[in-house]
Structure 1
C-alpha cells in the first residue's frame, strides 16, 4: 500500500492510501479529486497533467509531455501508476468550474428568438400562461353548522370558485394545513399546478399580504456545459441566467467515455452526483444568491438533455445506448418531484424532462425544435445543433426527420489543445494578416486569452487555410519559416496565437495539426449527416428556406467561415440563423405556455429517426467531407480556393 497526498493548488490537501501500481487518475477519482480527463483516461487528450512534487510514479513517454515538463515532474495522471509514497500537485479544476460559472443575460440572438417564437405560438393558439399558479384565498371559517374537514373545505372552494373537479396533494402538504389555515383565520396562499380539471397543490401557507412569489427554472443539461435561467412565473420574465461546465467532464468529455466509466464500480453514482450536486445544485445556489430569493419559492424545473444525460441524471444504466441496436431504457420520462433526484428547490417542486427520440437524439433536440419552430412552418427548415454530438432535424408542419452524428467535443473546445468553452478570456474571433501571418483576435469579455472556443476555432482554421498556412488536409506548410509556426519533437506542427515569448503573455495559446485533424473530422461528420439525410429524402440542399444553428459553439459564429470549411451547406448566408441555446429556449417556452410540455411530447412522437451507421453511403460521404472544404468542390461553388 502507498500513501498519496493530493495537493489541490492553492486550496487543500487530500490523503489517500493507494494499492501498489494503482493508476493515478483512478486514485484521484476515488479520492474525490477532480482532474480534467476529456478522453476518460485513454492518454489521447493530454489534459490530465499533474505535477509529482515528491516520490515517483511509473509513467511512459507521450507526445503530450514535453522534455521541459517531464524534467519539472509533470506527468499525465492517466498514463502513470503509483509505485511508492508520493505528493501530487493538481490544478484546482473544481474551483475553476465555479469561477467560470457565469451570471449573464441571454444573448441578443436568444432573446430575439424567444420573443419571436413566443408571439408566433400564442398567435397559433397556445395559452399565454404557465401551469403554475398561486391564489390568495379566504376560506369560510368553520362552525358547528359548517363543520366539514379542512381538506374538504379547500376542495369545495376550488370546485365552486375556481372550476376544478378535484384537488390532489402529498402528505407533506397535508401536514401544513392545520397551522397554515388558522394562523390568519383561514386566509391562505395556495400554490398549485393546473392539470386540466384537477389542481395539484404544491404548497399551502398563511397569506402574508404580499404578492405571491413563484419561480421556475429552464435548464439545459449539456454534455460539456449546464445552463439555467430563472423565470418569474408571475410575469414570465427571465430574471437571470447562469452557466458552468458539466462536472462529469472529469469522467470523459463525450457520452461514450462516460457510458464506459458508468460501468465501473460506483461509476454510475459518481456520474449522477457530478451532474446533480456539482452542477445543477451549484447553479441553483448561484441563481438564488444573485437574485436574493429563497429556493423554496422555486416550484418547477423544465429540463432538457441528450438521452445519455437523462439516463445519468436518473441513475439508469446507460450501457445499451452505445451497443447495437442502440436502445434507450426510457424516452418519455414521467414528471417527478425534484426531491427524488436530489435537486434543491421546494420539496414539492416538479421536474419535467423533455422526451428523447432515440439513443442519440435527446430531449435537448425536441425542446430545440419546439423553440425554432420547424413544426408549424409550410416551407422546409433545418435545425443543426452543434455540440458534442451533432444533431440535425429537417422538415416542416407535415413531417420531421432527424439524425445524429458523433462530432466529438471539438465545437465546444473539448479535446483541442488550447480549447475552452465560450467563457471570458476565450478567443472567439480571429483574423490572420496575409502579409506577415500575424493573428488579430477578440476575446469574450475583452480579457487576456485563456484558450479558443468553438467559433474561434472555426475562424482560425478558416484563416489558416485562406492564408496558405495549411492545406486541404489540415497540414501545415513545411516550407514556411515563421516565428508563429513551430514543430515539436514528433514533427507535429503548431500555429501560435498568443505566447509568453512573442506576446509577453501569461500562457501559450496555439492550435496543432492534431487539433485541426480532430476538427476536420467533426465538421465532416456534421456535413455528411446533413447531406445523407437530404439525399435519403431525394431532396436537394437548395430546397431549404432556413437553417437554424444552435449549440454552445459561441455567439460570434461566422457562418461564411463555417461554409468555407465545408461544415455547413453552401447556400446563401442570409438563410442561416444562429440562435444559441435552443434547448434552454424550448424549456423556457414550455414553462411559460400552458400547452408547451404537451407540445414537446407531441413533437418527439412525430419525429422519424434515421440511424446513419446503417445507411449505406454515410461512411463514404464522411470520408469525402474530411477535407477543406470537401473532395467534391461542386458542392461549394461560392467558396474561393
Structure 2
C-alpha cells in the first residue's frame, strides 16, 4: 500500500509505500538532505519529524538519537516507514543548504553534488576459506559504506583491479560515477583528492577550468587558441573545408581533440596536479564544435533546415572521442538547443538563471556567433546571429585580441581638450581590441566626426588613434563598417526576438551580457553605437564567460545538470534566416545607433549635447 506524504519545508508531495523507508521516498522525490552513511543507519544524520502513523522506534534510533531528541519526536528517515498518509518535516540540521559559490564573477547558490564521488574501503583479503572474487568482494565493501541499488565496474577499472587491491593491501579508494559505476580504484585513502574539469570550446579559443569537486573551488584556468582557426575564422568556413572529403573532417576532429587535451594538460601542469586526478569533464561549445568533438560530421548544420544530429546530453569515455587524459574519467556534453544554438548557449542559460527569474531578461553571449536570449521563467526564446570576428580583432587593420598593449579604453578629455586611451597592462599601444573599437566608434559619432551612416563627415578616410615612434594606429572607414556589420547583426537579432514576444525596450527588466570581452565594454558606448537597446545602465550587467561558468556549474551540481536538460528542451528557437523582417531590421540597425531615432532617444540627446561642445 502506498501513502501520500507531504514533505516540508519543500512543500512537495510523494507517494511512499509501506515497505519503503522515508529515506527511500525522500530520495526518490529528489529531496536533498544529510546522509553521511547513505541510509545504512549508522550516522544518525537523517533526522525528521513525522505527523501521522508510522513504524515503531528501532534499536538503531535508540542508539543514535540522544534522549532529548527522542523526547522531542526526532526519527531517522532511514529507519522508519509510513503506516498512513502523513507529513514529514526535515529537521533544520538535516536540510542541505546550498553553498554560495562565485564562479567567473557570478555568485550563485549551488548544491555541490558532482556526478563523481569517492569511497574508501578496507577489505578482508581472500583466503582458502573465503575465495570470493575481487570485484564481488569490493562491491560488498562499497555497499557496506554506501546505499546503492546497482553497482557495476568499467572494463578499464576491472582490468587494473587485482593489482590495485593487492598494492593497497586491500585498503583502496574507489571513484564512482553517477553512483552506479566504479571507474577507478586507487591504493590507500585518496578521498580528499577528486578533481573535475570544465571546457568551453569557442570558435576562436578554448578555455579549461580545473575544479576541486569536494568544495567547488576553481583551482586554475587555462586558455588556448582554437587550433581550427587556420581552417576558417568562422564556423561555415570550417564546415565547407571538411565537405571536400572525410579525411579533411577527420583532420579537423583530431586537431580539435588534441587542442582540448593540450588545454587540460596545461591547466593540470600549471596547478601541480596530474591529469589522472580528473575524473569527469564537462565540455560545451556551439553545435558545430559539439559535432566536431563527438566525431559527427556537421554538414547538415550548414544545410536547411539546419538540424543537429542530437539534442540530448551525451555521456561517454573521453578516449572514445580521442581525448588523451585520464582513461578512467567520464565525459559529459550537455544538450544543444538547435543547429546554431549549442551546448555553450545551454550553459549560458544555466549561469544566467533566466529560467528561474520573474524579470523579463535579454541575454547576449557576444562572439563570432552571438547567441541571444529573451524571456523569463515562463518562456525563453533564442536565436543566433553571425556577428563575425570583428570584436576579436579580425578584419580590422589594427585590430587585435585583448592582450598586453591592446587599446581597451578610448575617450575625449574635456578638461585637456584631447583624446586619451588606456592599454591592457599599461604597455605601449600595439593595436585595438573589441572594447576599444566600441569606444572609438562611439566617441567619433558622439563628437560628430562620423555621421549616422558611419561615414567621416570631413571626407577623411581614417582616424589617428595613436601615433608614436613605433608606428601609427588608426581606425579607417572599412574598420568602422566592420563594427557596424557586427553590431547590426546583434541588434537585429534582439529586435526580432522582441517582436516575436510583442515586447519593446521598455518591457525589458535587465540585460545580461556575456562573452570574451563582455566585462570590459562601456555600457554607454555600447548603447551609442546601437549594440544594445537604449536602457538605463543600471539594468545592464556583464557576466564574463557565462558559458564557462555554466559548464562549471553543470560539473559541480546534479541540479544544474537537470536544469540544463529542461532548458534545452523548453527553449524556443527562432531561425533568423526564415524571418521576413530580419533583412529590413538588419539594414536599419547598420545605422548609428539605428535608422529609427525613436528607438534611442537618450542616446540622441547625449549625442546632440556632445556635438555642441565639440572636441576642440
- Report the TM-score, using the length of structure 2 for normalisation: 0.78
Give the equivalent residue in structure 1 for 2:455.
475
Structure 1 CA distance for aligned equivalents of residues 303 and 596 of structure 2: 33
Length, aligned pairs only: 504
Identify the match of residue 251 of structure 1 among 218, 228, 231: 231
**Equivalent residue number for residue 361 of structure 1:** 341
> Retained in 2: the 8 A contact 1:295–1:344?
no
SS of residue paired to 2:558? coil
- Counterparts of residues 107-506 of structure 1 (less than 5 Å): 111-113=104-106, 116-117=107-108, 119=109, 122=110, 127-195=111-179, 198=180, 200-207=181-188, 212-265=192-245, 266-277=247-258, 279-433=259-413, 439-479=419-459, 493-498=461-466, 502-505=467-470
1:404–1:529 CA contact under 8 A, matched in 2? yes
Quote the residue 2:32 is aligned against. Answer: none
CA displacement at 1:254 relative to structure 2? 0.8
> In 2, distance between residues paired with 1:405 and 1:184?
55
- Residues of 2 paired with 1:315 and 1:447: CA distance? 42
Distance 1:411 1:479 in 2: 26
* Contact 2:120/2:190, CA 8 A, preserved across alignment: no
How far, CA to CA, are the matches of 1:609 and 1:554 in structure 2?
23
Query: Matched residues in 2 for 1:109 and 1:577: separation?
Result: 16
Q: Tell me the SS of whatever aligns to 1:469.
A: coil
The one-character-per-residue Cα deviations of 1:298-319 (angstroms, maximum 9, x if unpaired) are 1111111000111122232212
C-alpha distance in structure 2 between counterparts of 1:512 and 1:331, whole Å: 43
Q: Distance in 1 between matches of 2:416 and 2:396?
A: 25
What is the CA-CA distance between 1:611 and the residue it aligns to? 1.0
2:402–2:433 contact (8 Å) kept in structure 1: yes
Q: Indicate how the Cα distance of structure 1 residues 307 and 437 shifts in structure 2: closer, same or farther if over 3 A, else same.
A: farther
CA contact (8 A) 1:305 1:354 kept: no
User: Cα deviation per residue 1:377-432 (whole Å; 9 max; x = unaligned)?
Assistant: 12211211111112111111121111111111122222222222222222211114
**Alpha-carbon distance between aligned partners in 2 of 1:256 and 1:437, rounded to the nearest angstrom:** 46
SS of the residue corresponding to residue 572 of structure 2 reads strand
Q: Which residue of 2 aligns with 1:31?
A: none
- For 1:17, the equivalent position in structure 2 comes to none
Cα distance, 1:366 vs structure 2: 0.6
The unaligned stretches of length 5 or more in structure 1 are: 1-107, 481-492
TM-score norm. by structure 1 comes to: 0.75
Contact 1:109 / 1:578 at 8 angstroms: preserved in 2?
Answer: no
Aligned position for 1:105: none
Query: Any runs of at least 4 consecutive aligned residues in structure 1 with deviations exceeding 6 A, and if so which?
Result: 434-437
Can you list the C-alpha shifts for 1:599-628, whole angstroms capped at 9, x where unaligned?
211110010101111112111111111100
Contact residue 365 and residue 514 of structure 2 kept, 8 A? yes
Deviation at 1:638, TM superposition (A): 0.4
CA deviation map 1:19-54 (0-9, x unaligned): xxxxxxxxxxxxxxxxxxxxxxxxxxxxxxxxxxxx
Q: Is 1:579 aligned with 2:558?
A: no
RMSD: 2.0
Report if the CA contact (8 A) 2:121-2:142 is conserved. no
For 1:631, the equivalent position in structure 2 comes to: 595
- Higher radius of gyration, 1 or 2: 2
CA contact (8 A) 1:422 1:554 kept: no
| Aligned twin of 1:518 | 482
| 2:595 pairs with 1:615 | no
The answer to whether the 8 Å contact 2:104/2:546 transfers is: no
* Structure 2 counterpart SS, 1:176: helix
Q: 1:265-296 deviations in whole A, cap 9, x for unaligned?
A: 4321232233222x322222321221111111
Partner of 1:594: 558
Alpha carbons of 1:556 and 1:350: their partners in 2 closer, same or farther (altered >3 Å)?
Answer: same
Cα separation, partners in 2 of 1:258 and 1:437, compared to 1, 3 Å: farther
> Over residues 121-153 of structure 1, what are the superposed CA-to-partner deviations in whole Å (9 max), with x where a residue is unaligned?
x4xxxx322121112210223234433211111
Distance 1:269 1:450, change over 3 A: farther
Distance 2:356 2:286 in 1: 23
Distance 1:181 1:452 in 2: 58
Relative to 1, partners in 2 of residues 1:503 and 1:636: Cα closer, same or farther, differing over 3 Å? Answer: same
Mapping 1:15-164, distance limit 5 Å: 111-113=104-106, 116-117=107-108, 119=109, 122=110, 127-164=111-148
Q: CA deviation at 1:216?
A: 1.0
CA gap 1:194/1:330 in 2 versus in 1, 3 angstroms: closer
Moved more, 251-260 or 146-155: 146-155
Q: Residue 534 of structure 1 is aligned with which of 488, 498, 516?
A: 498
Displacement of 1:212: 3.6
Aligned to 1:561: 525
